[in-house]
């Protein structure tokens, strides 16, 4: 009996943990599909210039936003435009009037010297458009060896 029960329990736990990821994806899809739950977003920062950095430096850029609507704001997806940036963001529902942020950890080692212009793409339950593009720019100076 124990030989049968343990594998069944383990496979059930694995199945449930995999289903949990599907639930969050399904929830985001439902939020975006229900236009009655759309709200407004006000970007306090949608373009950031980080100035000058030396090649090899890592920086963090911050984009602030406010839920200027009447329904909870949900960022369903946040993606970087390239592998040199790792995005993060305020998770969960942002109440009307509340603020949140999208950040990008930028590694200049994974980019090139000179002027750079990078993007972070945000999908949210917002009127007018659900896709938003955040931009950060700056200059990466080559370090003399």
Instruction: Say yes or no to pLDDT of 24 above 70.
Output: no
Question: Residues 63, 46: contact at Cβ < 8 Å?
Answer: yes
Query: Structural domain tally of the chain?
Result: 2
Instruction: Name the average pLDDT for the chain.
Output: 86
Outline where DSSP puts E strands in the chain: 41-43, 47-54, 58-67, 75-80, 85-89, 99-107, 114-124, 131-141
Residues 15 and 59 in one domain: no
Q: What is the pLDDT of residue 14?
A: 44
pLDDT in tens, 29-56: 777 888 899 999 999 999 999 999 999 9
Torsion sign over Cα 2, 5, 8, 11: negative
The range of the structural domain enclosing residue 6 comes to 1-33
Stated pTM of the model: 0.79
Q: What is the pLDDT of residue 33?
A: 82
Instruction: Say yes or no to pLDDT of 12 above 60.
Output: no
Residues 73 and 103 in one domain: yes
Residue with tokens 């529902």, as numbered in its chain: 93
Average the pLDDT over 78-98 and give the result. 96
């Amino acid at each position: 009996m124990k030989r049968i029960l343990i594998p069944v329990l383990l496979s059930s736990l694995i199945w449930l943990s995999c289903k949990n990821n599907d639930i969050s994806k399904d929830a985001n899809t439902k939020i975006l599909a229900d236009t009655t739950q759309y709200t407004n977003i006000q970007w306090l920062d949608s373009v950031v210039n980080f100035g000058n950095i030396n090649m090899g430096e890592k920086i963090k850029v911050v984009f602030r936003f406010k839920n200027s609507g009447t329904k909870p704001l949900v960022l369903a997806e946040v993606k970087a435009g390239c592998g040199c940036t790792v995005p993060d963001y305020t998770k969960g529902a942002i109440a009307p009037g509340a603020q949140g942020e999208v950040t990008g950890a930028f590694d200049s080692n994974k980019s090139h010297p000179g002027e750079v212009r990078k993007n972070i793409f945000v999908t949210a339950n917002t009127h007018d458009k659900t896709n938003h593009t955040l931009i950060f720019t700056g200059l990466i100076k080559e370090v003399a060896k």
